[in-house]
Structure formats: C-alpha cells, structure tokens
Amino acid sequence: MSLFSQLAEKPWTPEQAAIDDLHNGGEFSMPVPQVGLRVFIGVASTLFTLFIVVYVERMVFSDWQPLPEPWLLWVNTAILFASSAGLQWAWVSADKNNIDDVKKGLYVGGVLGFAFVVGQLVVWQQLVNLGYYASSNPASAFFYLLTALHAVHLMGGLIAWARTTYKIQSGRSLAQTRGSIELCTVYWHFLLILWIVLFGLMLFT
C-alpha cells in the first residue's frame, strides 16, 4: 500500500472498521519489567563499551603504568560466580515450585553479592596503601572508575534482590514473585559477564 493510500484511509468507514477490529489491541507480549531490564542492560552495555574503548586507546601512551593485580580480585571473581549461581538456583527452584530452595538460592546470591562489594572495597584499600591513587596515573584512574561503576550497578541489583527477598519472606506466592526472581537472576548474570570482561581487560593489558 502506498503512502498516499495510507494517508487517504478513512477510519470511520465500515470497511476500515472491520480491518481495525482484527487487531486485538496488544502491543507487547513481553512484560514491561522485562522490557525495562533489557533496555537498561543495553544502555549499561553501551556505557561500559565506551569506557573500554577509551581505556584501550589511552593505554598506548607513555604515562600508562599498569597496576599490580591483587590476588583478592581472583577471590572476588569466584564469589561473584557463586553469587550468580545462587540466584540461578533460586530461579530454577521457582520453576519447580520449591519455595525452600528459592529462599536458599536468594540468600546465597544476595549474601555473596554483598561479599563481592566488600571484597572490592578491600582491594581498593590495598592499592591505596601501596600508593596507587586514582590521581597517580591514568591506569589507576581507569581501574577505580570501572570497578566503582560495576560496584554501583551491583548495589542497584542488591536493592532489587532485597525487595524480591522481602516478598518471599512476607508470604507472597511463587506465582507472584517468579518474575522478580527471573529479573534478578538475568541481571546478575549480566553483571558477572561484565565483570569477567573488565577483569580480563585489566589483567591482560
């Protein structure tokens, strides 16, 4: 149908009304929270991609002095893996209507998520004690910036986790909370993948 024909359509005519009645009025089959999460992940991915591109371009300059990699970063990475696995456990258990395992998975995921943030704070303190300040050189500045941004995103996830856990503890049914558990888990997997990319970038450059 040409553009002129579309503009010339008369919605008040019986023929056009019959065509319009075939539309059920639906717009999205995906729930709004899932759409919102996907949009947010897309925006966050773009933001971190831009920082990574600048990171790679900046490191070729002579004033770039790589930081030592504290062993605790490996421990924190393992903790985040376990945290993501805990939420995956909760998600699978929700599909099986196993409320007890849902609670266990949420506890494991959330507590280890907090442990990861605390571990990152300890890493920052260790580097500061060694004299690696954000103002020391560009490599230090990028390390603190990227890890801080990741931690902020994770703390945002912990807020969503706390709300989901509260719903479970207050007696909400799994039918009412399964969507929240799924969103938390998907977001946690995103944070894990993002951290692996950031950690690998800092480790090998």
Confidence of residue 33 (pLDDT cuts 50, 70, 90): confident
Residue 27 confidence (pLDDT) above 80? no
pLDDT attached to residue 154: 96
pLDDT digits (tens, 9 = 90+) for 47-87: 999 999 999 999 989 888 888 888 999 999 999 999 999 99
pLDDT attached to residue 175: 86
pLDDT attached to residue 16: 54
pLDDT attached to residue 13: 57
CA within 13 Å, CB half, 31: 8
Residue 11 confidence (pLDDT) above 70? no
Output the CA–CA distances (angstroms, integers) from residue 189 to 6, 49, 50, in the order listed. 45, 17, 21
* Residues in CB range of 70: below 8 A, 6 or more apart: 123, 126, 127
pLDDT attached to residue 202: 87
* Residues in CB range of 174: below 8 A, 6 or more apart: 94, 97, 99, 102
For residues 17 and 56, give the distance between their C-alpha atoms in angstroms, rounded to a whole number: 58
Confidence of residue 3 (pLDDT cuts 50, 70, 90): very low
pLDDT digits (tens, 9 = 90+) for 97-115: 999 999 999 999 999 999 9
Residue 25 confidence (pLDDT) above 90? no
For the ranges 109-113, 114-118, 132-136, the lowest mean pLDDT is seen at: 132-136
pLDDT attached to residue 56: 92
How many C-beta atoms surround the C-beta of residue 49 within 10 A?
Answer: 11
DSSP per residue, 94-143 = HHTT-HHHHHHHHHHHHHHHHHHHHHHHHHHHHHHHTT--TTT-HHHHHH
**Is pTM, for the whole model, over 0.75?**
yes
Residue 5 confidence (pLDDT) above 70? no
pLDDT digits (tens, 9 = 90+) for 145-170: 999 999 999 999 999 999 999 999 88
